[in-house]
Structure 1
């Protein structure tokens, strides 16, 4: 099966100018991800897990290494060297990211957030409106909340909205940073249902998890990270 992501010797460090320190986050991370695979990444807080996802998404620029991604638009592209314009296109059309936090324009409603995400994929307004209601129903975002601003939502409601907005686009590559961190059992099951649906549709996923039971039921392979380096991968499925 063809690789969709090929990370070679990824190294990222942060400079603390006020302390004249160079803090290494990850070192020589190498991983190949096949199309349709779901890779789980585990490790203690501060071990470098989020740095890997943010480097793929372009939030962080890496010092060394390559992140080759097989784009449907650009073909093979090195995300470590991609331009801002290229990354903006990929985020809109191909690569999704779910974090524990929801960062949005302050006067955008929950309904508008999801609808705009679908419209970015080239769908009609009619389909966008229909899909918006469908996924907000699935994640139990109440009808009384849909025209409200997410700043007023609880932590769990914000996370469910964040997941809905990313999943409704059906990205080719989906990055999940603790997608169930503040969710109750029923909400986790709803996330699991949609992740399984995306897997069937061919979405490739990389996810960071502390909830190992949830992860073990989904991922094909687990990588454990310690002190910024991967241990040997564990085959799951």
Structure 2
């Protein structure tokens, strides 16, 4: 398998001017993901886990290190130096991101959100409509909500919609920031089933979890974050 993503010496800090504090979020993080791998990151809240994903996705600019991604469109590219135009393309066509929060355009329905994601991948309207209904049904979102605005949804419904919108695009690289937070057990099972399906289709995944036990049998490797320091965790799959 070829390497899809390689992070080298990633360092990111924040300066809180109003209190005169300098916080080092992550320090000298290094990780390599091969195509089709699923790597999990655990750690306490505030340990720097989400910062890694946001640096990959371009939400945060890094101050040190590099993030090499093997793009289908651009070839090998350092995401730390990518242009805004390149990052917009990658987010639309190659790199997906699932967060705990749903940020959407106002007056856009759940159906429109998911359908638009499918259309962006070059599919026709009929296929987009079918796949939209299939994945909304998979996550058991009430059909009466499909043409409603997500601002009226519960936290769990918003999270399920966010996952559906990201996964339906079948990205080459999928970043998962607490994808099972606030979900009940049945909804977690549905997330797991889709992750298994995407893995079979070759999607590479990097996921953050407070407790990795639920996804343990899917993960190829696990890492732990403590105070911005990144370290591998021995697992049965990695030691096999």
Q: TM-score, normalised by structure 1?
A: 0.98
Q: How does 1:134-153 map to 2 (within 5 A)?
A: 134-153=134-153
CA distance in 2, matches of 1:139, 1:108: 19
Q: Does the alignment pair 1:212 with 2:212?
A: yes
CA distance in 2, matches of 1:210, 1:49: 10
- The gaps in structure 1 that reach 5 residues or longer are none
* 1:230 to partner: Cα distance: 1.1
- Kept in 1, the 8 Å contact 2:42–2:211? The answer is no
Shift of the 127–61 alpha-carbon distance from structure 1 to 2, 3 Å rule, reads: same
CA distance in 1, matches of 2:234, 2:63: 28
CA distance in 1, matches of 2:224, 2:33: 15
Counterpart position of 1:131: 131
Counterpart position of 2:81: 81
Counterpart position of 1:7: 7
* 1:161 to partner: Cα distance: 0.3
Q: Secondary structure at the match of 1:232?
A: strand
Q: TM-score, normalised by structure 2?
A: 0.97
- The gaps in structure 2 that reach 5 residues or longer are none
- Kept in 1, the 8 Å contact 2:221–2:235? The answer is yes
Q: Secondary structure at the match of 2:144?
A: coil
CA distance in 2, matches of 1:62, 1:236: 33
Q: Secondary structure at the match of 1:114?
A: helix
- Kept in 2, the 8 Å contact 1:219–1:236? The answer is no
Counterpart position of 1:157: 157
CA deviations over 1:95-122 (Å, ceiling 9, x no partner): 0000010000110000000000000000
CA deviations over 1:167-210 (Å, ceiling 9, x no partner): 00000000000000010010000000000000000000000011
- Kept in 2, the 8 Å contact 1:220–1:236? The answer is no
Greater shift in the superposed pair: 162-171 or 204-213 = 204-213
Counterpart position of 1:53: 53
Counterpart position of 2:63: 63
- Superposition RMSD in Å: 0.8
- Kept in 2, the 8 Å contact 1:101–1:159? The answer is yes
CA distance in 2, matches of 1:172, 1:82: 18
- Kept in 2, the 8 Å contact 1:221–1:236? The answer is no
CA distance in 2, matches of 1:217, 1:210: 16
* 1:236 to partner: Cα distance: 4.3
Q: Stretches of 4+ moved more than 4 A in 1?
A: none
CA deviations over 1:15-42 (Å, ceiling 9, x no partner): 1112222110000000011000000000
